[in-house]
Chain A
Amino acid sequence: MNRRDFVGLTGLGATALLLPTLPGFGAKRVDPARLLEPGADTVLKKRLADAALNAAKSAGASYADVRIGRSLNQYVFAREKQIQNIVSTESYGVGIRVLVQGCWGFASTSVVTEASLAATARLAADIAKANKLVMKEPVQLAAQQGFGEVSWKTPLVQSAFEVPVKQKADLLLAANAAAMANGANYINSALFQVNEQKYFASTDGSYIDQDVHRLWPTFNATAVDTKSGKFRSREALSAPVGMGYEYLTPSAAEQVRGPQGTDTIGYKLRYDLLADAALAGKQAKAKLTMKSVTPGKYDLVLDPGHLGLTIHESVGHPTELDRVLGYEANFAGTSFATLEWKAKNLPYGSKEVNIVADKLQPGAVGTVGYDDEGVKTKQWDIIKAGKLVDYQKIRDQAHIVGQKESDGCCYAQSWDDVQFQRMANISLKPSPAKMSVDEMVSKVDKGIYIAGAGSFSIDQQRYNFQFGGQLFFAIEKGKITEPIEDVAYQSNTQEFWGACAGSCDQSDYRLFGTFFDGKGQPTQSSSVSHGSATTRFNGVNVINTARKV
């Protein structure tokens, strides 16, 4: 699903009314009960996979992998007092990737029989052979041990698919009512539930069965002033998580209060949808009459639900090795952090900046046991004390940077898409020394505290960016003074991270996440989380986004 489809499907954007009801929009729709039926067992899947692997080898493949995928999704959409749609989708099929004479070929099929898989493997081999015409350097694949028959499952308390649809619909309607009772005129809310059942087999001797779960409750509450024609919105401060329905059980221990005077609440691994919706209604209404920001240089204090998106765009993407090497030149772009740039040992940021890539992080949406080319996942350093120390890479890229193994961040959004390098969970380490958000604010003379992610844009080499937010508060002489509006900041990646003046400690650490990191042609979406504690950046350029039309 690409971004435009997403905006249409969720009803969270202005294009909601453009969504056709039939035929199937995006994936196929099925009934909720279907989502609890077990998929094919591993004995059958191994037999199917072996049929494909044998056919690939007979067709001349030096390496092949088979992904038997069953994607289950359920989306519940509500607006104001009504459920708009309950969409249950299932997608089942197989993707086969082969390496023939140094060239990749890929083909997929939804006909899951041994004969069909063998034929699809041969088609993939034919495509690989046709591509030899445009091969410059043969693919070099980092060696990978086979793991035999293994499995992994997202740790969870309760699968969201086990919760009755009515209970989920009622929760969204209660959230909508809470927002409207507190000042919102309109609200769109949604609950996304994803289950990827992935079976991976390769000629390396791996047969990996994984059961991956993700959940995302979200909303957009809008207040309208009919007289002036003005409207303002406030989105949910939730995050997509790699967890079960337990994320929606509120827990005081998992809530983090914003700085004194802001009345904001952030959430760790338990979310209070009703409380956040009530607060959003109040804040959306208040935004209609807030003071507009005076442009200029400010010290920014950024909460994790905001900073995660800035980390994503300005550290996550520029350190993906496929971008660095030019594979994304025609679409997502390249990177300033080239191999030559890294060799100069220039600072990426201040000494306070320590960034890790982590495919193991509990609760993160990018967390899995093995990636989509059979590599066991891990954690590794990207930036240490402000210096770039490594990239994110997969099996056919490791040799380019003189390494012998993949980082385990290869992913395909579905069985009918080819797998490629995707972003790991990329997170900023919190301060080892004790630091609360109130203490951080108390040291700021002229600044703005920003919570929640808003508008975002960055150039194709990841230098110049502009970010908005959900909530903005002026800081003067160490105190929050008032909420303000129309704030966006513009900066440059190295300048911005160079201005990083430190983070709060682990007690403030939270995850931001997205379901819709887009890359590749055809575009594929990937889910990724970004952790951080509230962090301060000095002297950042803030613009005023109000216009008259």
Chain B
Amino acid sequence: MAILSKDEAQALLKKVLAYSTADECTVGLDGRTTGNIRYARNSVSTAGASDTVSLSVESRFGKRSGIATCNEFDDATLRRCVQRAEEIARLAPESPEYMPLLGPQTYLNPPSAAATLLTPATRAQAAADSIALCSAKNLTAAGFLDGGARFTALRNSKGLEGYQQSTSTDFSVTVRTADGRGSGYAIADATDPSKLNFKSLTQRAADKAASSITAKAIEPGKYTVILEPAALMAGDDLSLLGGLVYSMGAREADEGRSFLTKKGGGNRKGEKLFDERVNIYSDPLSAEVPGNAFDGEGLPTKRMSWVEKGVVKNMFYSRFWAQKNNVAPTAFPSSFIMTGGTQSTAELIKSTAKGILVTRLWYIREVDPQTLLYTGLTRDGTFYIENGAIKFPIKNMRFNESPIIMLNNVEAIGRPQRLANCLVPPLKIRDFTFTSLSDAV
């Protein structure tokens, strides 16, 4: 029953709401049907499937709130779940940040779901193709293919109704040479899995692995770099661009503990902090990276500009903080788009006199939240560029750099590509700071 239709989901939520005796009540359903396969050493390692739906109930008496959930859907269980939420609400302290529930909202209709998803057999075939390509060249593949369908539905006692279905599939592969001296990586995700070309992605990783075996050490220091999208955004960890965007909360800035804090008080909304070619926005209706129609409270998403011509255009305001500051609240989007030009990574390389091509950055952690100084390392394909061409592979290096400085040192912005349900262009950046060498391959 994992993917309920809009009518099925709302009928169930309506029934649950009817059991409520609270002042206010919100009910939500989340469900997913997903499957994955993982391989390494040119052989499958694990594979699995997951099928879940859960119901959550938030009951409110005045400014007191309680939450309960269940994953069974018979009448007795549903009734008990509502009673539990009401019991906790009566015992909870009053929230000084209470906001009344939203009434009916109008939502955009993001381009939704793929008709056909992968099966255990098609996932196994994709892995087999990826492995075959590598074993034929005496290379070793390790990859992960994961995807499926999800739905979310929301309803409250003030008449709000929301429903959205989505699909997504993620694939990544690391290819290593048999002697362990070369490693390459490729990653992609798509709403419709038929858009993913597992063979060509594996080929890209294989090419990088094969061409990186004679890596030379160069002196750490400041270099012009071409950062491919996987060096800028990651779905499962902190990244240079993701970290920057996720740190744009208004409350933290107003409280004096953010890179967007203004000396003397307040925040830096409206200030030009980055190169004027930097534009970052979100758009739930994007055909390439469709977003969520509403956030967890039912607040509608819409097209929002976050950075425009290098200026901080908007910051994230929760409903509470927005009301306190007399501004409109901002629903948090599930995807971001950084605009770019038309140049491919290859064209960016052609226009580079001296520099470094970075395939992927990894294990990025915040060193100082004041300046957004991050540290991390290059991985799976790092090359030295001279006179517009890749000259030789280089050993991996650790960087210590702030994305704020990075987005001020922009030389060129390439053509955006989808990664982690975001659109991210490759960036050519001057004076990117590497601080030490790594022996890792």
- A residues touching B (Cβ–Cβ < 8 Å)? 2-4, 14-25, 28-34, 82-83, 86-90, 92, 103-110, 123, 126-128, 130-131, 133-137, 165, 169, 185-186, 222, 224-233, 325-331, 333-334, 336, 338, 416-418, 420, 455-464, 466, 468, 486, 488, 490, 492, 520-523, 541, 543, 545-549
Does B52 have its Cβ within 8 Å of any Cβ on chain A?
yes
Contact of B142 among A104, A131, A330, A336 (CB under 8 A): A330
Q: A127-B49, A165-B91 are in contact. Are A463 and B440 (CB under 8 A)?
A: yes
Identify the closest chain A residue to B441 (Cβ): A461
> How far does the alpha carbon of A318 sit from the alpha carbon of B311 in the complex, in Å?
44
Residue of A3, A4, A29, A334 with most partner-chain B CB within 10 A? A29
Do A466 and B375 touch (CB < 8 A)? Answer: yes
Judge whether B190 is part of the interface by a CB distance below 8 angstroms: no
> Are A490 and B247 touching (Cβ within 8 A)?
no
Set of chain B residues within 8 Å of A546, measured between Cβ atoms: 368, 371
- Greatest chain A CB density within 10 A among B40, B125, B251, B258 is at B40
Could you tell me the distance between the alpha carbons of A233 and B366 in the complex, rounded to whole angstroms? 13
In angstroms, Cα B257 to Cα A68, docked, is 44
A464 touches B439 (CB 8 A): yes
A-B pair count, CB < 8 Å, reads 310
Q: A330-B143, A331-B144, A521-B146 are in contact. Are A20 and B332 (CB under 8 A)?
A: yes
B85 touches A31 (CB 8 A): yes
What is the bound-complex CA distance between A517 and B37, given in angstroms? 22
Nearest-CB residue, chain B, relative to A419: B46
Report how far A29 CA is from B71 CA in the complex, Å. 10
Query: Are B262 and A229 in touch, CB under 8 angstroms?
Result: yes
Task: Place the interface of chain B in its size category.
Answer: 35 or more
Docked Cα-Cα span, A458 to B438, in Å, equals 9
Selected from B49, B142, B247, B402, the residue in CB contact (under 8 A) with A547 is B402
Which of the listed residues B43, B46, B247, B398 has the most CB atoms from chain A within 10 Å of its own CB?
B46
Among A106, A165, A326, residue most surrounded by chain B Cβ atoms (within 10 Å): A326
- Tell me how far the C-beta of B3 lies from the nearest C-beta in chain A, rounded to whole angstroms: 15
Query: Which residues from B are CB-within-8-Å of A466?
Result: 367, 375, 398, 400, 436
Task: With both chains docked as a complex, state the minimum distance between the C-beta of B165 and any C-beta of chain A, in angstroms.
Answer: 14
A541 to B436, CA, bound (A): 11
Contacts of B258 in A (CB 8 A): 14
Please, could you name 5 A-B residue pairs with CB atoms under 8 Å apart, sorted by A? A24-B28, A34-B68, A109-B51, A226-B256, A458-B363
Contact code string B217-251 (vs A, CB < 8 Å = 1, else 0): 00000000000000000001110000000110111
**B142 pairs with A327, CB closer than 8 A:** yes
Interface pair A23/B316, CB less than 8 Å apart: no
The answer to the question of B128 belonging to the interface, with a C-beta cut-off of 8 Å to chain A, is yes
Given that A134-B43, A464-B439 are known contacts, is A231 also in contact with B125, CB under 8 Å in the complex?
Answer: no
Which of B93-101, B282-290, B350-358 lies at the interface with chain A? B93-101
Task: Note all chain A residues with C-beta closer than 8 A to B144.
Answer: 330-331, 521
A327's partner among B40, B67, B247, B259 (CB-CB below 8 A) is: B40
Q: Report which of A3, A22, A457 forms a contact with B26, defined as CB distance below 8 A.
A: A22
Which residues of chain A are within 8 angstroms of B92 by Cβ–Cβ distance?
Answer: 83, 86
Set of chain B residues within 8 Å of A86, measured between Cβ atoms: 88, 92
Would B40 and A14 count as touching, CB distance under 8 A? no
Q: A329-B183, A466-B398 are in contact. List 18 more A-B contacts (CB 8 A).
A: A16-B249, A17-B252, A17-B321, A31-B66, A32-B88, A104-B44, A126-B120, A226-B256, A226-B265, A329-B174, A455-B366, A455-B375, A459-B398, A460-B362, A461-B439, A490-B398, A523-B236, A549-B371
